[in-house]
């Protein structure tokens, strides 16, 4: 039995650290450079495993040196790779620029091997689908494969709708139990501008009323997260801020994926905790990760958090 099944992308991260973002047409020197393992799906799988979940990964890697190293990396972390398949293509690549001053980033991805994910793999991996409690999906692989995975799965499903697709079909909003986006992705999907925390209420209400989402969690970076707590109800929208004790930001790359993994972990290990408690605990885990450089390399030294006893702030929007 698996606590978490991740269905999604694997990328190799090429990260440059700069003192400021370059202007259009400008070349600047980086202050540091790293190569690491990334991809939203793989990040979520690694973070889930390191938090203590028995985890399986379904995805595509390249038939190259990076792909071979990636599979070894998963296996070293204790992640099931029975359906981590290689293609005669370069492994997926993410080009990342991180502002060393505030830790914010800009990312461009090249899907490469990831674009060969198809709905067929769901049928091949049927046994793992049936043996898993929580499914995590994202949008860095072909949409038809993700839709098939969500349709097949009978447990709790989380769709991290990132990167945002302009013409995301309605079924993608309705299938998952939890629909999770950040503020930029939410703007793209609803065409509602986000300027302040209070704007999250209108955005979440739109995703429920007009798109058919059940539970929406909107991550807000340094402002925490906003969410509805009852399925298909937009009557009460809550804001959970980032704990005030966590204020060191080195690199925000992969923090959203860390949040998703933590949410799955708390659902799996603390079923009696409320959604607000799970989200608050997940914010604390993700906030911890931004204190370290890199993506998966930042998923270390996780604090031991019990959402049932941890004190947290929240208020209704």
Active site residue 257: yes
- Angstrom CA distances, 186 to 48, 54, 205, 216, stand at 24, 31, 11, 10
Residues belonging to the binding site for K(+) are 251, 253, 289, 292, 294, 298
Q: What is the DSSP string of 299-316?
A: --S-----TTT-----EE
Residue among 119, 148, 154, 117 at smallest CA distance from 134:
154
- Angstrom CA distances, 173 to 128, 138, 178, stand at 24, 12, 9
Residue 145 belongs to what H/E stretch?
Answer: helix 143-152
The catalytically annotated residue of 3, 64, 199, 257 is 257
Residue among 101, 68, 90 at smallest CA distance from 14:
90
CB atoms within 10 A of CB 114: 27
Residues belonging to the binding site are 11-13, 39-43, 140, 182, 219-224, 251, 253, 256-257, 289, 292, 294, 298
* Token digits of residue 87: 């293609």
Residues belonging to the binding site for ATP are 182, 219-224, 256-257
Euclidean distance between CA atoms 234 and 247, whole angstroms: 31
Residues belonging to the binding site for substrate are 11-13, 39-43, 140, 257
298 contacts: CB under 8 Å, gap ≥ 6: 251, 253, 254, 255, 258, 289, 290, 291, 292
Residue pair 310/281 in contact by the 8 Å Cβ criterion = yes
Cα torsion 210, 213, 216, 219: sign: negative
Which residues are known to be catalytic?
257
């Amino acid at each position: 039995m698996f606590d978490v099944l991740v269905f999604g992308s694997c990328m190799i991260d090429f990260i440059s650290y700069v003192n400021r973002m370059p202007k259009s047409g400008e070349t600047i020197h980086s202050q540091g450079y790293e190569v690491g393992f990334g991809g939203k799906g793989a990040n979520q799988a690694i973070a889930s495993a390191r938090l203590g979940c028995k985890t399986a990964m379904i995805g595509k890697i390249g038939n190259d040196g990076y792909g071979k190293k990636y599979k070894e990396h998963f296996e070293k972390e204790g992640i099931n790779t029975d359906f981590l398949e290689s293609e005669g293509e370069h492994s997926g690549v993410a080009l990342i620029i991180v502002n060393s001053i505030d830790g914010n980033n800009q990312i461009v991805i090249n899907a490469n091997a990831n674009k060969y994910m198809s709905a067929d793999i769901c049928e091949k991996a049927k046994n793992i689908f049936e043996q898993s409690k929580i499914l995590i999906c994202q949008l860095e692989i072909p949409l038809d494969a993700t839709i098939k995975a969500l349709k097949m799965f009978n447990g709790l499903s989380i769709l991290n709708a990132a990167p945002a697709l302009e013409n995301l079909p309605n079924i993608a909003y309705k299938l998952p139990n939890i629909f999770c986006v950040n503020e930029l992705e939410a703007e793209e999907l609803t065409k509602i501008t986000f300027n302040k925390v209070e704007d999250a209420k209108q955005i979440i209400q739109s995703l429920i009323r007009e798109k058919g989402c059940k539970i929406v969690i909107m991550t807000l970076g340094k402002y925490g997260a906003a969410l509805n707590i009852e399925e298909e109800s937009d009557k009460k929208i809550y804001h959970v801020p980032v704990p005030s004790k966590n204020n060191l930001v080195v690199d925000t790359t992969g923090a959203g994926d860390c949040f998703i993994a933590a949410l799955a972990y708390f659902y799996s290990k603390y079923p009696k905790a409320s959604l607000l408690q799970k989200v608050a605990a997940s914010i604390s885990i993700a906030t911890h990760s931004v204190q370290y450089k890199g993506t998966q390399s930042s998923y270390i030294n996780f604090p031991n958090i019990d959402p049932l006893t941890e004190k947290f702030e929240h208020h209704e929007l």
